[in-house]
Amino acid sequence: MMRILASGLASLCLALLLTGCANSVPRVETVMMTPTIPAHLTRQLSAPSIEASSNRDLLDLLAKYESLRRRANADRAAVVEIMANDVGGDE
C-alpha cells in the first residue's frame, strides 16, 4: 500500500512540475546589432608633402600617392568585409 502511495505521489509531483513548464511562454527579444568599424579605417589620410624640384621628386610624389590609394582601397575593403561578415552574430 505504501509503495502505491509513494509512486502515486511521485507521479502527481512530476505531472505538476511538467505543467508548470508547459504553460510558460518563452520571451523573445529582438536586438539590433551594428558592427563596430575601427577608427583607423574611417580616418582621413593626409596628403603627402609637395616639394618637387625635379622629375625624380615628381616620381616620388606619384609613388606616395599610389601608396595612399592602395591603403585607402585596403581600408575600404576591410570595411566591406566587416559589414558583410556581421549579420548580428555572437560578438
**pTM of this structure:** 0.51
23 pLDDT exceeds 90? Answer: no
CA distances from 17 to 2, 46, 66, 82, 90 (A): 22, 68, 71, 46, 33
* Closest of 13, 40, 33 to residue 91, by C-alpha: 33
Arithmetic mean of pLDDT, 7-13: 76
DSSP helix/strand/coil, 72: helix
pLDDT in tens, 38-87: 888 888 888 888 888 899 999 999 999 999 999 999 998 988 888 888 65
As a whole number of Å, the end-to-end CA separation of the chain is: 58
11 pLDDT exceeds 60? Answer: yes
Arithmetic mean of pLDDT, 9-37: 74
